[in-house]
Structure 1
């Protein structure tokens, strides 16, 4: 058991150190030697855990997506919530996680982190779409909404949302961002055959409830 623990600890140390270096130096400019020097290990030790610098990056991306997906799966398990409430909870959880990691995510917008940035976006869509698909199918079964292509629609919605609301790709003021969000939810409503404005009203209600809960703490 101790051997396994030491393996996990060393692997985590390499990942955490590489993440710090990618944030400060940028992924492209950071070398394996930089990581070796910072951690204090030999090259052979590094390659025992990872085949390349890109594999370390994949592990960092997986760390972010694992946090988001575990929270999303927890929302899906809530028996006392309707499919609509779960859907808004999922979107809120994703936004909260994004804000919590805002400093780390800001570093992705550097030109030298372009590949890193791309992987975070693609892996988030890949990881989250099947979870949202389960929820959309639940809503179909309960006749809350009707969606002909649950997985594909969620892939499209996530890809559009993550790209258009990414300030590293599109720089916009708050009014423009709000308009984009309204358009995205309008698209989601069409995908789910819901009335116009339905999702936006639910999100605003959920946001207000969340703010009230924070104010009571």
Structure 2
């Protein structure tokens, strides 16, 4: 007997099964027929929700970005967390757990044939995370931690540069090269936000910890 599901439930089910297929088979090797069979729906039902496989991937990207942004907003809105603590926790919340679907999806973004998909994920991440980090930066200005005239614009530019220069799908830095760029980026944040020198050293410690976990 055919199961009738609410539209949003069915849409999420299509995205769930498609994400499983993209991470298992690869985006390029997954067909719409594969998705239909995994969900157990007819072609007409699929096209009611999505016009193409590319549109499914766009929706998956947005789902990941929106989940990251929601986590960041919860941290930013917590009055019990100091400004620098918020920035650290937001940074940590964006990291994909090893072996998670998010990490496997990011691997798909890094495939050469998926360059457009990768670009979309970077742009959406900046558009959704930028305002949240802007709120935190403005709080830092109010509290006297930062003295920049342009807190929102500054964090947006910093986020955009970090998304590119530290993207392992774009650059394959050697450990020493990555460490030097991380140190330079931390100092750049301090200068851009007009913060006390050393204010963002916690980022270096965090990056070093992540590197040790990867090496281990």
* Both proteins in one fold, TM over 0.5: yes
**Hey, what's the Cα distance between the residues in 2 that align with 1:71 and 1:37?**
33
SS in 1 for 2:196: coil
Superimposed CA distance per residue, residues 167-200 of structure 1 (whole angstroms, 9 cap, x where no aligned partner) = 1110112222221211111111111101333211
**Match for residue 121 of structure 1?**
122
**Match for residue 80 of structure 1?**
80
Say if 1:23 and 1:107, in contact at 8 Å, map to a contact too: yes
SS in 2 for 1:139: helix
**Hey, what's the Cα distance between the residues in 1 that align with 2:157 and 2:83?**
20
Q: How does 1:102-181 map to 2 (within 5 A)?
A: 102-181=103-182
Q: How does 1:35-54 map to 2 (within 5 A)?
A: 35-54=35-54
Equivalenced residues, count:
206
TM-score, structure 2 normalization = 0.83
Say if 2:145 and 2:196, in contact at 8 Å, map to a contact too: no
**Hey, what's the Cα distance between the residues in 1 that align with 2:4 and 2:184?**
49
What is the deviation of 1:46? 0.8
What is the deviation of 1:107? 2.4
Determine whether 1:22 maps to 2:22. Answer: yes
Q: Alignment RMSD, CA only?
A: 2.7
SS in 2 for 1:198: coil
**Hey, what's the Cα distance between the residues in 2 that align with 1:184 and 1:4?**
52
What is the deviation of 1:8? 2.4
**Match for residue 212 of structure 1?**
none
Quick one: structure 1 residues 4 and 81, their matched pair in 2 at CA, closer, same or farther if it must change by over 3 Å?
Answer: farther
SS in 2 for 1:74: helix
Say if 2:186 and 2:204, in contact at 8 Å, map to a contact too: no
TM-score, structure 1 normalization = 0.83
What is the deviation of 1:207? 8.2
Gaps of 5+ in 1: 209-217
**Match for residue 187 of structure 1?**
188
What is the deviation of 1:31? 3.5
What is the deviation of 1:11? 1.0
Quick one: structure 1 residues 4 and 192, their matched pair in 2 at CA, closer, same or farther if it must change by over 3 Å?
Answer: farther
Quick one: structure 1 residues 92 and 175, their matched pair in 2 at CA, closer, same or farther if it must change by over 3 Å?
Answer: same
